[in-house]
Structures are given as C-alpha cells and as structure tokens.
Amino acid sequence: MFCLHWWIFTTILLQIIGICGNVVMLPKISPSSRTLVKVQAGETALLHCYVQFVTYEAVTWIRQSDLEILSAGQLKVTADPRITVAHDSRFGSYSLQIENAQRRDSGMYSCQINTVPIKELNVKLIVEKGRVEESFTTSRTETSPRLENEVISSDPSSQSTTILEGPDIYFSAGGLVNLTCVVHSAIQPGRIFWYHQGNVISYYSRRYGVSITSIKKENGDTRSSLILKHGQREDEGTYTCRPEKPILQPAEARLFLINDVSSAASIAYSGSRKPDQHYLSLTLISLIMYLYFPKLCLHFY
C-alpha cells in the first residue's frame, strides 16, 4: 500500500514539474520606464522603454500625432535623420533618441510589443523653448523672404504629390489596405499627414489596426504608406495625403469596398458539395438499416 501511495505521489509530482517546465513568461514592459521626458529645444531627447521576456516579438516606437512608425526592433524606420534607436540587451532597453529636438517634436510616443493584446507604454515628450530655438527662429525669419522667392521661382512641374494606384482604389473585406503617397520635391516635405473624410488619422482615431511608415528615397522622393489591417466597409471614403510644408500640394484618393472573390468561390464550392454530403448520409443510413433490419431492407428492395 505504501508503494502504491508513493507511486501516485511521484506521478503527480512529475506532472507538476512538467507543467511548470512548460510555463512561458509573457513579454511585458517594466514599470521602471519613465513616462515623462522634458528637454530644452536643441538638446537631445532620450526616450527609454525597458521590456522583459521578449523573444520573437517586435518592439516598436510610434509617434501618436501622425501614427508614424519610427522604429521596429533595432531597425530605424523613419526617414528623419535626427532620430536613432538603440538596444541594450543587458537591460532590455529600446531607446529612441531625437537629436536637436524642436517644440514640434513635443507629444506622445508609444513603445509597443506586438503581443495579443498589445503591450504599450506611452511616453510624453515636452520640448521647452530654449536659446538654440530662438536663434534658429530669428535666422529663419530673416532669410524667409529669400527662400520664398526661390520656391516661387522654381518649376512647379518638379513638385508633385500623388497617391499610387489612385484616384480610385478597391479593396476586399478583411484584407490589408495599403495606400502609398509619394512626394516629389526638392523641398523637405516635413511630416506627412493622412486624412479620412477630412478628419486627421492619428493615435486617437477610433479605427484600430492603423500604422504609417515614411521612407526617404535616394532620388529625393518621400514615401508615406498608410496601412489598414482587416479592411471593412467603414474604411470607404476619400483619403488625403498632406505634406507638412504648405507650399506642397496634397493628394486625394477614393477607397471602395468590393466583394471578396475568394469567399464567393468558397461559398459556390460548398454549395456544389451539398449533394455529395447528402449522398453519403443516405448511404450511411442504408448501411445501418441493412445491419440492424435486414428483413426490412430486403423487403424494401
């Protein structure tokens, strides 16, 4: 009896050890991460995000004002040369660094881990006015008439803003929607903002699953891609791509939902298989009747 009890105890103990051995620690953001960063204009802003138990998940930095993805893991995504990303595996930190910070950089920045649901840390950056920005503003004001004359005298045909595959773009329900805006200009366009039906698309929009990436090409073009996950009917409408510099013209495109051909084909396929399923059901019923009621089946046939 003692041996039986010992065997049961040992079996349960081994099961517990096996279960504990299979425990997977979920990624999380350390509470030691700062949520408020203040710097003077012209200084370098450093935003830290400390994460734990991250293996294959991606850690991304996103600017909430325009939903632009700034970095993904150790890869810099934004075209802004002032922004860099650094990763220190010893402390599990993903740091976003903004050199020569300006007051327009103020706002909320999100550090996200692509788990389900998404783990997120919101960091507020405040850039206060400093001497560097004051001197920069003064010099820019003095030279602004000369720059404006240069812009006005330049060839308008060399500046354009277009949305690829526009003006009418079609998508299927549940699919991935990708709108790409290309700004061709010798002038730096600054940030590129997206609008849906006249409303700016930002972090506070009701639509989830939205991301924006911007890339600066070697030929001087700037590309901004608006990505909508799981396209739905509410995504239909007019989309506007507007560069931050007012001298550059915006571009528009209309988004339309079409019927999903693959789902229609699957419905047609399932409908064509119904007679076969009925045939198999009748065959099975006939076999059961033959096994249990042989006389009835013989009389029937």
Residue 173 clears pLDDT 70, i.e. is over it? yes
> Which of 62, 99, 101, 58 lies closest to 78, judged by CA?
62
Average pLDDT of the chain to the nearest whole number:
75
Per-residue model confidence as pLDDT tens digits over 73-128 = 888 888 788 999 999 988 889 999 999 999 999 999 999 988 878 889 999 999 99
In CATH, 155-258 is 3.40.50.2000: no
| Residue 246: predicted pLDDT | 86
Query: Residue 226 corresponds to which amino acid?
Result: L
More confident residue, 38 or 116: 38
The fraction of the chain above a pLDDT of 90, given in percent, is 33
User: Distance between CA 281 and CA 301 in Å, rounded?
Assistant: 19
Cis preceding-peptide flag for 81 (omega within 30 of 0): no
Residue spans per domain, the chain: 28-132, 155-258
Per-residue model confidence as pLDDT tens digits over 81-95 = 899 999 998 888 999
Could you tell me which residues are beta bridge partners of residue 258?
172
| Residue 292: predicted pLDDT | 53
pLDDT-derived band at 24, boundaries 50, 70, 90 = low
Residue 151 clears pLDDT 50, i.e. is over it? no
The fraction of the chain above a pLDDT of 70, given in percent, is 67
Per-residue model confidence as pLDDT tens digits over 183-193 = 998 888 888 88
Most confident of 59-68, 127-136, 248-257, 284-293: 248-257
Most confident of 138-142, 199-203, 205-209, 293-297: 199-203
Per-residue model confidence as pLDDT tens digits over 52-76 = 888 877 898 999 888 888 988 888 8
What CATH code would you report for 28-132? 2.60.40.10
User: Distance between CA 165 and CA 4 in Å, rounded?
Assistant: 74
